[in-house]
Amino acid sequence: MNNKNFRVSIFRIAQRSVHKSIFSQSTPIAYQISIIFSMVFFLTIFLACSSEDRISKEDALGKDRLFGIRVDDSLQPPNFILQDTDGNIFDFQQKTSGKVTLLYFGYTNCPDICPVHFANIAAALDRSPYEVRNGVNVIFVSVDPERDSPKKIREWLDFFDTDFIGLTGTDSDLVIAQNAVGAPAAFVSEVYENGYSIAHAAWIFLYTQDGSLYLKYPTGTRQAEWAHDLEALVLENWSHGSKGSKNNGG
């Protein structure tokens, strides 16, 4: 009982001291200001620490983690042929071997997901070292051949990065390509007075240089996550032996 009273007394004394030392109007202003600066400093550190932007590449690589979600091992790298924006034949397997390849099915009139995905990948690559930028193919396949001419695709991609590759083809070629990667075929979902929107896979598919790893990235993958994974995969800072435990669920 005495012990409890003692603790209560100590608490009250401490409470009064804090109140008197910080909040009293008689406390010197310099002292008050220095306390404020300290508080804001620590709150700011907390702000910085709570930011997902601070994902430490070293930590993540050390833990052998990738943000992409691992796809079934039984799926082989896709084999399909489309046409690039210069009108040349583009054999996917042949043209992408030896580089990490990001593959996405979308359309240039897409109001939200497509431009955000590409803006984030472009920004992540922009902050990456040269060897990483040089080791990545980013491929956009338009599932809207009616409106997306090769020229329009090229202009749209150039807005993000002039090295991005644009592909198109006939409706049947596009269905074959989507089936080859295990994506559902895109379809017109809504028709408006002056256009239409298309429902399409929102994932970005990733294939490693040797085709030994196949990941997919959902909408909401952050720039810092892209930068981390692309660097790890291009520089091969991930262990082949622990593929099964690689992904952390995105």
The verdict on 10 binding another protein (CB under 8 A) reads no
The verdict on 116 binding another protein (CB under 8 A) reads yes
The verdict on 53 binding another protein (CB under 8 A) reads yes
Size of the site for another protein (CB under 8 A): 38
The verdict on 141 binding another protein (CB under 8 A) reads no
The verdict on 3 binding another protein (CB under 8 A) reads no
The verdict on 220 binding another protein (CB under 8 A) reads yes
The one among 3, 29, 162, 241 contacting another protein by CB under 8 A:
29
The verdict on 194 binding another protein (CB under 8 A) reads no
The verdict on 14 binding another protein (CB under 8 A) reads no
Instruction: Output Rg (C-alpha) for the chain, integer angstroms.
Output: 26
Q: For residue 104, which of 210, 248, 249, 206 has the smallest C-alpha distance? A: 206
Residue with Cβ nearer another protein (86 or 192): 192
The verdict on 123 binding another protein (CB under 8 A) reads yes
The verdict on 196 binding another protein (CB under 8 A) reads no
Residue with Cβ nearer another protein (52 or 86): 52
Q: Which residues bind another protein (CB under 8 A)?
A: 22-23, 25, 27, 29, 32-33, 36-37, 39-41, 43-44, 46-48, 50-53, 111-112, 115-116, 119-120, 122-124, 127, 159, 219-220, 222-224, 227
